[in-house]
Structure 1
Amino acid sequence: MLLCDIGNTSYHFLSQSESFKKDVKSFDASEVKHKVYYISVNKDVDISLKNLANWVDISTHLDKAKYYETMGVDRMMALEAIEGGIILDAGSAITVDVKRDGVFEGGFIYPGLKTMSESYKNISSALAYEFNFDIDLRGLPKNSQDAITYGYLKTLYCEVMSHKMEIILTGGDANLFAKIFKEARVDEHLVFKGMKRVISDL
């Protein structure tokens, strides 16, 4: 079974247990001859795939009424993979979603690392630091790098921890956030697990 999660910059494939990515701008989906079950948040790619019979959009089989109208299908699919917990997807944006006893309770969107880092640089070149994921959030910082890091991470950390649920980290920066959320588990295939669950019900 070939699965594909299509974002704004890449096609993310899973074949058996092996995952790989292709660039949205250069990849020609028509070269794939196998059946591909996919989800997509990229409207331009959606248009090109409609003419390819072997590409099957499984989002049409998802009960979207459980979520909200403008919610990204990748977030929905990640939630389909769990019965309960809080999912932090650390990608170009950070999304945080809560599911309890099989019911989606809601979530929020937070700026991703790159966006937030650039916003500090736009304020002043003196704030052009990388975030320090080895920071101790229990005490107030006494240097600029940690002050920026604390301001960015502490609010997110406190909100996520306040739900007192299992935390699942996914997305490209998941391993960085694992340094902050030390009790969390990282699951890079969470969206794919949700896709498999939906496909099993077809």
Structure 2
Amino acid sequence: MEKVILVDIGHTRYHIWENGYIYHRETPPQLEGEIYYISVNPQGEEKFLQLNPSAINLEDKVNFFTLYDGLGIDRKMACKTIIDGVVIDAGTAITIDVMEKGIHNGGIIMAGLGQLQKLFQKISPKLEFPLEEIDFSHLPLNTREAVMWGTIGAVVKMIGEIRGSKPLYFTGGDGKFLQKIVG
């Protein structure tokens, strides 16, 4: 039996599960084995299939009911195993989806933290700061804190509004970072 490989083709990276390990690539890998994938990136998918023509797209095989029109396969897969909770995928975009009793109740899409950072950098090089944890107990008293409030604060506030008392489930490249801040 061939080894099974799972691939999630995102907006900026390829996320690969192989032999119990997860690794990431910025360019499409050529893989050997029984390959299954999901994709939210048509151009990335095309490049991936040039190297892995026998890979099987799982999108049409996933059964996930929602009234949300246009819910991406990445969000479906992230929500599929959650009965009650809020799923936060913090990648290029940040999606926040609510699951109640195994039913998808809707969700939102926001710009990702990296995209917000780039936006501030375009406004002015003086607004370029690395993402770091911030103290939300007082108003910002310097530009670095003000930028952090404008990026991280907006996301944290939205999560708080949607969350209620539901448990949170984080995924995506900035998931661990947000989890530390939100708790």
Q: Is TM more than 0.5 here?
A: yes
Report the residue type matching 2:147 in the other structure: I
- Superposed, which structure 2 residues align to 1:169-180 within 5 Å? 169-180=170-181
* Alignment length (residue pairs): 176
Q: Which residue of 1 aligns with 2:145?
A: 146
RMSD of aligned alpha carbons: 2.2
The whole-number CA distance in structure 1 between the counterparts of 2:53 and 2:131 is: 43
**Letter of the aligned partner of 2:116 in structure 1?**
M
TM-score (ref. length: structure 1): 0.77
Return the alpha-carbon distance in structure 2 between the equivalents of residues 37 and 4 of structure 1. 6
Q: Which has the higher contact order (CA 8 A, sep 6+)?
A: 1
In the alignment, structure 2 segments of 5+ residues that lack a partner are: none
Out of 2, 22, 25, the position equivalent to 1:22 is 25
Give the Cα–Cα distance (whole angstroms) in 2 for the partners of residues 57 and 123 of structure 1.
40
Matched residue, 2:111: 111
1:11 matched residue in structure 2: 14
Q: Give me the identity figure in percent.
A: 30
- What are the within-5 Å matches in structure 2 for residues 85-100 of structure 1? 85-100=85-100
Equivalent residues in 2 for 1:157-172 (5 A)? 157-162=156-161, 163-164=163-164, 165-172=166-173
Structure 1, 154-163 or 91-100: larger mean CA deviation: 154-163
Runs of 4+, deviation exceeding 6 Å? none
- Aligned counterparts of 2:44 and 2:123: Cα–Cα separation in 1: 35
Preserved contact between residue 84 and residue 102 of structure 1 (Cα < 8 Å): yes
Structure 1: segments with no counterpart, 5+ residues: 183-202
